[in-house]
């Protein structure tokens, strides 16, 4: 007997799994729709997207329902199933079921997400501001552009006390000595204002922000 024939013989004697595949059109609503199918595993192989789902009761309609999505399933002996689903226009689920005497491991991808688009994360529109602190010890402010992704503040002509909340530049602040700077990158500021003051008359806050 050749190796190939021997392998075929071993496969046959090992009783390979028997399975069926069905596709459910979720455009039609179902409520405990009975299907006389049998096996010991039931798994959602494929779905239109990760949100497509059905509720399944095994064997009897009074059993608790299990919600199944893509790559989720059960290893349980059953002789019929009851399927429930809300209308999910344009969506389908492909289900595999059957008999397998070896242990099955189902992959749960319920935490996965479908990525349909990736936002452009690079910043490419700089805005430059020079704000003079004309009076020492007085708070000044500068609103950053909407959706700022990166900004830098530099002190020129004197130190700066910088904060993000009005009236706190004298109590809760980041101190920038003359000539030093601070930068924040990988941010997404829908609306943010910088507040600052200087103990030196005429100090300037140099700000560059990118959207």
Identify the pLDDT of residue 117: 55
Pairing assessment for the beta strands 73-74 and 126-133 based on DSSP bridges: unpaired
Pick the CATH number of 3-99 from 3.40.630.30, 2.60.120.10, 2.40.30.40, 3.40.50.2300: 2.60.120.10
Residue 103: pLDDT band by 50, 70, 90 thresholds? very low
Domain coordinates of the chain in residue numbers? 3-99, 126-210
Q: Give the pLDDT of residue 141.
A: 97
- What is the pLDDT averaged over residues 143-159? 95
| The domains spanning 3-99 and 126-210 adopt the same CATH topology | yes
- Chain segment 60-85, per-residue pLDDT in tens: 999 999 898 888 888 889 999 999 99
pLDDT (tens digit, 9 = 90+) per residue, 9-52?
665 666 556 788 989 999 999 999 999 998 888 988 888 888 88
CA dist 169 and 141 (Å) reads 10
Q: What is the pLDDT of residue 150?
A: 92
Half-sphere exposure of residue 127, counting CA atoms within 13 Å on the CB side? 14
Query: Do the Cβ atoms of 21 and 65 come closer than 8 Å?
Result: no
- Say if domain 126-210 classifies as CATH 1.10.540.10: no
């Amino acid at each position: 007997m050749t190796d190939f024939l021997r392998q075929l013989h071993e496969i046959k004697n090992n009783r390979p799994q028997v399975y069926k595949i069905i596709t459910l059109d979720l455009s039609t609503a179902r409520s405990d729709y009975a299907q006389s199918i049998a096996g010991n595993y039931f798994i959602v192989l494929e779905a239109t997207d990760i949100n497509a789902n059905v509720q399944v009761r095994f064997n009897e309609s009074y059993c608790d329902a299990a919600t199944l999505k893509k790559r989720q399933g059960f290893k349980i002996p059953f002789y019929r199933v009851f399927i429930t689903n809300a209308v999910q226009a344009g969506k389908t689920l492909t289900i595999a079921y059957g008999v397998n005497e070896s242990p099955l491991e189902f992959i749960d991808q319920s935490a996965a997400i479908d990525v349909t688009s990736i936002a452009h994360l690079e910043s490419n529109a700089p805005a430059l501001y020079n704000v003079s602190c004309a009076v020492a010890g007085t708070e000044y402010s500068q609103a950053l552009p909407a959706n700022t992704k990166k900004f830098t503040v530099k002190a020129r002509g004197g130190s700066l006390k910088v904060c993000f909340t009005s009236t706190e530049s004298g109590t809760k602040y980041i101190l920038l000595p003359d000539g030093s700077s601070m930068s924040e990158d990988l941010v997404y500021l829908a609306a943010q204002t910088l507040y600052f003051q200087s103990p030196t008359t005429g100090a300037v806050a140099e700000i560059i922000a990118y959207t």
